[in-house]
Each structure stands twice: as structure tokens, then as C-alpha cells.
Amino acid sequence: MEQIIPFNKPHITGKEVHYIYDAVASGHISGNGKYTKLCQSFFEERFGFKRALLTTSCTDALEMCALLLDIKAGDEVIIPSYTFVSTALAFVRQGAKIVFADSRSDHPGMDEERIEELITAKTKVIVPVHYAGVSCDMAKIMTLANKYNLFVVEDAAQGIDSYYINTDGTKAALGSIGHLAAFSFHETKNIQSGEGGLLAINDERFIKRAEIIWEKGTNRAEFFRGEVNKYGWVDTGSSFLPSEVTAAFLWAQLEELDLIQEKRILLWNTYFSAFTNSDLREVRLPSIPHYATVNGHMFYLVCNNEEVRSGLISKLKRDTIHSVFHYLSLHSSPYYKDKYIGKELVNSDKYSQAIVRLPLFFDLSVMDVELVLKKVKEFVK
Amino acid sequence: MEQIIPFNKPHITGKEVHYIYDAVASGHISGNGKYTKLCQSFFEERFGFKRALLTTSCTDALEMCALLLDIKAGDEVIIPSYTFVSTALAFVRQGAKIVFADSRSDHPGMDEERIEELITAKTKVIVPVHYAGVSCDMAKIMTLANKYNLFVVEDAAQGIDSYYINTDGTKAALGSIGHLAAFSFHETKNIQSGEGGLLAINDERFIKRAEIIWEKGTNRAEFFRGEVNKYGWVDTGSSFLPSEVTAAFLWAQLEELDLIQEKRILLWNTYFSAFTNSDLREVRLPSIPHYATVNGHMFYLVCNNEEVRSGLISKLKRDTIHSVFHYLSLHSSPYYKDKYIGKELVNSDKYSQAIVRLPLFFDLSVMDVELVLKKVKEFVK
């Protein structure tokens, strides 16, 4: 029987269950225990976030951003249309009007040159999404935000250990640039805990309130630091914190971040360097801007149109290789299309129809990638 | 060294990590896999819920209720003031005005006789909280709800495997009576997964939409059942579903539900039968209404006043026994007191000052309980 190459297989380092045993033995299994603190410190120290708070999902981290920024009915939030539902939903839940930005023509990330025309007196937040872990032009976006006094929330769901390269050559970790940022540890991500997320806070003004919102609107954190003598309901919030079981699982993954990244980037480079665009004809390679690094999260090809994509996916499926398409433009989703009054978003629609993602996960071998490449070559020639 | 008796110690059956291994090995670690389905079917079959959906917390299950009931700014929701923050917060996040009900004089549950006077044209939901797993008078509450066309959301955070006894002697599981209900699997609960919750749906009209709201507002469930040929953004929602790691942990606990309940109820009865109220003088026993069962979730005493309670807690602490107070009235919390315009809620305030909870957990022995009882007796005599 021929070997099936799945699109994704969640990687397990082997220590997850060991650390879960340890958490369970400690008797503290609810949130904000030893492993939560280990994970949070890791993110703060390695990526320079002022404060990191684990959440049960990236959606929840984005909801915390919406609550921290006091998003209310009528506020406008600029997000790319080519993104996962949660980027919009977290702000919609607070009553925001979503203003959808188009993607760049060369890249699925939001077109930084077209943001300014979307800003109105009601605009409160810009949410750049680092698609495939490839940075948006953060210098441009932060300059715009400063000019119009807006907040920036980085949707870094796919952006762990990826960087924006400043003009002087220094690097800033994705998630460390905007006022706030959100990461995902869904099983499809480089580092995963099944479901899971992280809020990164770079603007220190938000730290104290974030701790309150995280713990159901109570000042429990201050209580346990001895700053108040009882704790109670002081603000809005939710139960955003994951259990120590989830945090222990995540810690095992974080310990192997470098190894995981090395392997994923190797696979990504194997894909990327196998072709030139002229070899590919009806499909093209991803374009990586000069200010962005690659974190090996995802390798995709851009097909000339939906028919070519369907053909490629079908061809690979016959060869027992599982490749998949990705987002559908949110501005034309069943939920939003009647509310949408902006321009046609041609690039977002193009990527909705054109992107195909190829298998890329830690346990994939370079030989597997070469097999996928062989089959893609059979299709494009 | 004297043995310390903690207030709570989360129970581990021993199979949690085994099932987590199995989930991990299956390659499906994100939400809605095998263990999620096992847990959900268990609740549906054992307690008669029409549909059960695991959530990351009881707070999240209550938020799902608020979304399903389309709670909007101006809507009024009646909840007891003597409850955990989340009961109110889930509705506050959607813009509801909270109308606080007082507790009964004989029991911390909401006073069913005083609900009707709180109903206005804007009232949309009544949220009875089954304090300590002891049922509210659900017949009275459902009759009121029908009369005024209101929804009932049972906050059954503490109510697993506890029952409302109908006048004909038949029993209905808590969470199976209202239109919707929420359970908690926080480490302090009878059945726990560190953090965790469950939405129970009894009114079938909510099932389809609940599945959508659960999965980030997408019709993913319909897609995987083959009812639609692609899935996208169709409604509001969030990422409410826990990982298979969490569900696998919970499944190990559910398998031992009967054993856990038997032990907890034995301990509860040991406490309850040790005294009469006349023995206790300045404290009194919990009052269990004739229509309610005991699920061994919590054993508490009601002190005559805050000084007596402080004295008892201090005395037990000197004897290395950890006892704790409980909620503070939400209507007088820092977050709500300026918004609160209703009457004084004397019973809620009384329980805020008077309740002391004694150690009660699976791994506690009857001998431990007898030691606690001995020390309580020293205090009350």
C-alpha cells in the first residue's frame, strides 16, 4: 500500500505527558500554576514581550485585546479580509464594525499602502495578520498608527519565532511590535497544545488590567501578591486562562522550539528552492518581503486560478498527498456580505481561490518533501 | 509534624494520563475528537440533555448561553447576587443589565418567591444557581418563566449528578430542566479537568446554532456531516471547545463518577449527621429543601455573623485545618455597586459574611472529617 502523506501531523516531543504527570502530582491543575509561569516567562525572555499571558485559544487572546482596547459599538477595526474568522470575530463580539483591507498583490498579507484610505474618525485598531508567519511591513503600520493615534494588535497566530527586519538589520520578534499581539497553539501550529493561545502585551499600560480580564474580571492576581486583602469583581473579563494540563503540554513543546524550527525551516527551504517561477508556469512561489523572515510555518503555492488549484489538489490526492486550500475572503462570507459596503478586494479574493498549502510538519522527512515536489512537477510541466 | 488538612485536593483517578497518551497517539489533539464525543455522549445519555458541548470553562458555557439567547444592551437578566462572578459576567459581556435577586433566608439559592417582583418588560432570562449542588425550586422558576415567556439558564457549575425531585417523586438531573445549563470542571469540582466546562442544551431549537457558535461562528460541523460543501463564517461565536487533552482527562474522571459521588456523599453525610443545630449554637447546618438532593459537592456551615466565622476559621487554622469563606455579594462588588439601584439584599449579604466551607474532597478520609468535626465542636461548645 502506498504511503499517505497527510497535510499535517501534530508533533509530540515525548515530554508532554511527563510534565502533565508532574502538574497533576503537584495538586495544582487549574490555571496560572508552575507551567503557566514557565511558559509565560519563556515568551517574555525570548521574544521581549513586556508580559505574556497564556489563553485557551488565539481567539481568546484576540478577545482580550478587544476588551483591553474598550472596543464598543461603532468603533472601526481594520483587518485583512484574507484571514481566519477569529481575527474579525473577537472584535465583532464587542460590537465593532470591521473594515476589511485587501491583501498585497505579491503576498496574502494586508496591503500596507491601502490602509490609510480606510481610516476614519471612528477607526480604533489596525490588526495586521502575519500570514504564514511572514511579517507585514510593521514600520509602515506603526507609523500610520502613530499618525492617527490608533492601536495595533498583531495577529501572530502563525508567527512564532519569526521576525520583522528593521532597516538597520536588527530584528524584532513578531508579536513584540504592536501594542498587543495574539498567538495560537492549535495543533496545526509549529508549537502546539491541541488548542491554546497567548496574549503578548508590549504597551505596559495594559498589563494590570489584562491580569484582571484574564481571571474573570477579578483582582485575584493582586490578592495573591498581597496588594489587596480580599479580591472581588472589579472589571469585565472572562475565563481566559488554560489549565496547568494544557500549560505543561505546551512547556514540553517550547523546550524543543529550536529543534522544531530548524526542521521546519529545512523543509520549507527544500520546497522553496526546488523551483523557479518559470518552472512552475501556472503556479508561483510565495514571495517573502526583504523585511521578513521565514519560520517554516506553512509552504504554499499560488495558482493562476481556482481551476488550476483544483487540478493540483486532485492530482496530489491521487498520489495520496493531502494538500489543502485556505481562507475564504471574510468580507464575502455569509455572515458579513450583507454588511460589507467597501470596494471589491481583488487580491483577497484571488488568494481565496488560488492558494494551495503543501504538507509541512516536523515529522515529515526531506524525502517526503521530495516526493511531493516530484508530483507537483508532474502537474506543472 | 501535625497533618495539614487542605480545603481541597483535586482527585486523580489514575487513567487521565493514559487517555491523554491515547489522544496524542491518535494525532487529533485539537477539539471535537474522540474523547470530546465520549464525554458529550455520557452527559446526554446519563442526564438526559438533548445536546452537550464541552467548553474550556463554565464561564464560556454561560457566554454561549448569552450568545444563543441574543442578549443585547438593555436586556435584563435575573441572577442571584450570591454567586461567582462568571454568572453575571457572561451576560454583562453582551451588554445585559443584571438584576440581582436575594438568597432565601434558609438557603443561599435565589429566593424563588422574590423573582416575580424583579421581572419587567425587558427581562429575558432567569439564571438559577444551584449553590453547593442543591437544586433551586425549579418547578416554581419554570412556571414563572412560562408565564412571562422568559428563558431559564441553570448555572449548575456545582450541580453534577444532583437532582430536582418532582412532586410525583421522579427526579430530574440539574441542568436538564432549564432551556440551557452550564457546568464547571474546575479543579475544585466533583469531576474536574483543571479548567473546563459544559453547555447542556434542553431546548432543541438551540442545538444547530450552538454548534456554530462553539466553532468560531463557522458551519464546520455541518461541513463534516456533509450537509454543506464548504464551510465559512455564518454567525457570531468564539473558540469555546477544549482540546482532546482536556477531554481525555475529563473522560477518566467521568468513568469514575459513581465512585467519586459515593465517597463525597459519605463525607457530606458524616459532617451533616454529626450535629444538630442546637449543638452548634452560633452556627447552623445547611438546609436542604425537600425537593433537592445532595451531590457531596460542598459542606458548609452558616455562622451567626462574620466575627463567629472569623473565629471558627482561625481556630481551625490553628489546628492545621483549612476552611474558607465563599462569595461576596455581586451587587455590592467594586464593579457593580455604582450601577446597582435595587433593594438591600440582606440574605445575600448575610451569606457573604456567614458561610464557612469545610474540607471535602475524594481523598479525604472519614477519619479526617471526624478530626475536623472534633475541632468544630471545640469551637462551638
Percent of chain A with pLDDT over 90: 91
Check CB contact under 8 Å for B187 and A233. Answer: no
Q: State the number of CA atoms in the 13 A half-sphere of A279 facing the CB.
A: 13
Same domain assignment for residues A274 and A195: no
What local confidence, expressed as pLDDT, does residue B2 receive? 61
Percent of chain B with pLDDT over 90: 91
Check CB contact under 8 Å for B29 and A187. Answer: yes
- SS3 (DSSP) at A255: coil
What are B4-29's pLDDT values in tens digits? 999 999 999 999 999 999 998 888 99
What are A281-331's pLDDT values in tens digits? 899 999 999 999 999 999 999 999 999 999 999 999 999 999 999 999 999
Check CB contact under 8 Å for A335 and B186. Answer: no
The mean of the pLDDT values for chain B is: 96
Same domain assignment for residues B61 and B76: yes
Where residue A281 falls (left for φ over 0; alpha for ψ -120 to 50; beta otherwise) is left
Same domain assignment for residues A165 and A290: no
Closest residue in B to A237 (Cα) is B89
Among residues A226, A254, A282, which one ends one of the domains? Answer: A254
For residue A330, which residues of chain B lie inside 8 Å, CB to CB? 233
Is B225 inside any structural domain?
A: yes
Q: For the residues of A202-249, what is the DSSP string, one character each?
A: -SGGGHHHHHHHHBTTB-HHHHHTTSSSS--B-S---B-PPBHHHHHH
Is B358 inside any structural domain?
A: yes
Q: Strand B151-155 to strand A171-173: parallel, antiparallel, or no bridges (unpaired)?
A: unpaired
Where residue B57 falls (left for φ over 0; alpha for ψ -120 to 50; beta otherwise) is beta
Average pLDDT over residues A331-356: 94
Is B4 inside any structural domain?
A: no
Same domain assignment for residues A169 and A315: no
Residue B222 — very low, low, confident or very high, per pLDDT cuts 50/70/90?
A: confident
Same domain assignment for residues A139 and A261: no
Decide if A230 is catalytic.
no
pLDDT over threshold 60, residue A150: yes
Is A290 inside any structural domain?
A: yes
Q: Which residue has the cell 434558609?
A: B106
Same domain assignment for residues A306 and A339: yes
CATH number of the domain that B312 lies in? 3.90.1150.10
Check CB contact under 8 Å for B92 and A236. Answer: yes
Is A123 inside any structural domain?
A: yes
Find the distance separating the first CA and the last CA of chain A, reported in whole Å: 27
Of residues A324 and A341, more confidence is placed in: A324
pLDDT over threshold 90, residue B299: yes
Would you please indicate which residues of B are annotated as catalytic (active-site) residues?
189
B310 min Cα distance to partner chain A (Å): 14
Catalytic option among A9, A147, A189, A315: A189
What are A4-56's pLDDT values in tens digits? 999 999 999 999 999 999 998 888 999 999 999 999 999 999 999 999 999 99
Check CB contact under 8 Å for B233 and A93. Answer: no
Residue B65 — very low, low, confident or very high, per pLDDT cuts 50/70/90?
A: very high
What local confidence, expressed as pLDDT, does residue B1 receive? 46
B17 min Cα distance to partner chain A (Å): 7
Same domain assignment for residues A308 and A245: no
Closest residue in B to A8 (Cα) is B27
CA angle at residue B284 from B282 to B286, to 5 degrees? 160
For residue B196, which residues of chain A lie inside 8 Å, CB to CB? 243
Same domain assignment for residues A300 and A322: yes
Q: Report the C-alpha gap between B240 and B201 in whole angstroms.
A: 15
Same domain assignment for residues B204 and B295: no
Same domain assignment for residues A248 and A262: no
Average pLDDT over residues B87-107: 96
Same domain assignment for residues B181 and B108: yes
Is B11 inside any structural domain?
A: no
Q: Quick one: which of A28, A8, A29, A31 has its CA closest to A196?
A: A31
pLDDT over threshold 80, residue A2: no
Is B174 inside any structural domain?
A: yes
Q: Which of B55, B195, B223, B361 to mutate to test the interface with A (most CBs of A within 10 A)?
A: B195
A42 min Cα distance to partner chain B (Å): 22
Those residues with Cβ within 8 angstroms of residue B149's Cβ, 6 or more apart along the chain or in another chain: none
Of residues A227 and A372, more confidence is placed in: A372
Among residues A254, A277, A310, which one ends one of the domains? Answer: A254
Check CB contact under 8 Å for A17 and B12. Answer: no
Q: Report the C-alpha gap between A331 and B363 in whole angstroms.
A: 54
Q: Report the C-alpha gap between B363 and B145 in whole angstroms.
A: 41
Domain count, chain A: 2
What local confidence, expressed as pLDDT, does residue A1 receive? 46
Q: Which of B68, B198, B233 to mutate to test the interface with A (most CBs of A within 10 A)?
A: B233
Same domain assignment for residues B220 and B291: no
Check CB contact under 8 Å for A217 and B335. Answer: yes
Is B35 inside any structural domain?
A: yes
ipTM at complex level = 0.96
Closest residue in B to A331 (Cα) is B233
A329 min Cα distance to partner chain B (Å): 9
B242 min Cα distance to partner chain A (Å): 7
What are A194-244's pLDDT values in tens digits? 999 999 999 999 999 999 999 999 998 888 888 887 789 999 999 999 999
For residue A92, which residues of chain B lie inside 8 Å, CB to CB? 236
Q: Which of B56, B68, B219 to mutate to test the interface with A (most CBs of A within 10 A)?
A: B56
| Domain range enclosing B237 | 16-254
CATH number of the domain that A199 lies in? 3.40.640.10
Helix/strand/coil (H/E/C) assignment for every residue in chain B: CCCCECCCCCCCCCCHHHHHHHHHHHCCCCCCCHHHHHHHHHHHHHHCCCEEEEECCHHHHHHHHHHHCCCCCCCEEEEECCCCHHHHHHHHCCCCEEEEECECCCCCCECHHHCHHHCCCCEEEECCECHHHCCCCHHHHHHHHHHHCCEEEEECCCCCCCEEECCCCCEEECCCCCCEEEEECCCCCCCCCCCCEEEEECCHHHHHHHHHHHECCECHHHHHCCCCCCCCECCCCCECCCCHHHHHHHHHHHCCHHHHHHHHHHHHHHHHCCCCHHHHCCEECCCCCCCECCCCCCEEEEECCHHHHHHHHHHHHHCCECCECCCCCHHHCCCCCCCCCCCCCHHHHHHHHHEEEECCCCCCCHHHHHHHHHHHHHHHC
